[in-house]
Structure 1
Amino acid sequence: MAKKIGVLVELDYCVGCSACQLACQDYYQLPVTETYMRCFLGKPDVVDGRHEMFMSPYAYRLDKCANCLEKEEGNAPCAAICISKALHVGELEEMKQLADTTEGHLALYR
C-alpha cells in the first residue's frame, strides 16, 4: 500500500511568498501557467469587527503532491525552499503528530 502523504502549513508563519509553488513548478518542469500547488492569499472580509469565515465547496486533496518525496529522500523541494519554515511535507501520521505538538493556526492537507 502506498504511503499517505500530508502537508502541514503553519499559517502564523507563512508569508505568502509563493516560493513553494515555484519550487514545485520548477521540479516538475511545468509551464508558467500550470502548477500542482497554489497559494491562496485572500483575506476574509470583516463583518461587525470580526473576520467572516471562509468556506469552500471543494475538498482539497493531495492527488498530485509528494511524488517527489521518494526521489528526493524525504526532502520535498517546496518545504526545503520555504523561507519561514512554515511548510512541512511527509508521511501523514508524522504530520499529524507534528500538528499535535505545534501551537498556532495550522492547516493539514492529506
Structure 2
Amino acid sequence: MSRVDGKGIALLLDLDDCNGCFSCEAACRETHRYPYDEDWMRCERREPFLVDGVLRQYHLVAPVLDKCAACYADNPNPLCVSGCPTRALKIGSLADMVKEAEGRHCSIFTA
C-alpha cells in the first residue's frame, strides 16, 4: 500500500453542506461522456441519523481520483466543483484542502 505524499490533488467534501443532489456526478459524466456502466464520480446517499437529537442527512461523494487529477490538470475549476449548488466541493492541493477543512465536518480524498 502506498502512502500519501502530499504532492497530488485533494477533493474536499463539506458533509454539512452537501445535499446529495447528484450535480457533481452529472457534471462529471457531462464533461467526460464516459459510459453508464462506469463511475468516475458517484454521490452516495446514506440513511438519515440523529446527532445530539438533530436529524442529519449524510451524503458522500466517491470520486475516482486518478480521473480527477487529469481533469484538474486541464481545468483547476472543474464543472463538478463550479456546478455544485451548495459549494460543498472544493479541489486543490492537499495542504490547501486540509487548511480549508479545519474546524469543519469534511471528508478529504487524495490522489
TM-score, normalised to structure 1, is 0.73
Specify the SS of the correspondent of 1:70.
Answer: helix
Paired residue for 2:15?
A: 11
Larger radius of gyration: 1
How far did residue 91 of structure 1 move?
1.3
Give the ranges of 4+ consecutive aligned residues of structure 1 lying more than 4 Å apart after TM superposition: none
What is the RMSD computed on CA atoms of the aligned residues? 2.8
**1:61 & 1:67 partners in 2: Cα distance?**
11
Q: Quick check: 1:108 aligned with 2:111?
A: no
Give the AA of the match of 1:68: C
In structure 1, stretches of 5+ residues that fail to align are 52-59
Paired residue for 2:74?
A: 71
In structure 2, stretches of 5+ residues that fail to align are 1-6, 56-62
TM-score, normalised to structure 2, is 0.73
How far did residue 25 of structure 1 move?
1.2
Give the AA of the match of 2:86: S
Cα deviation code 1:52-101 (max 9, x no counterpart): xxxxxxxx8723323111211x112210100000100111111111112x
- 2:100 is aligned, of 95, 98, 101, to 98
Aligned counterparts, 1:80-99, within 5 A: 80-99=82-101
* Structure in which a larger fraction of residues adopt strand: 2
CA contact (8 A) 1:8 1:99 kept: yes
Identity %: 36
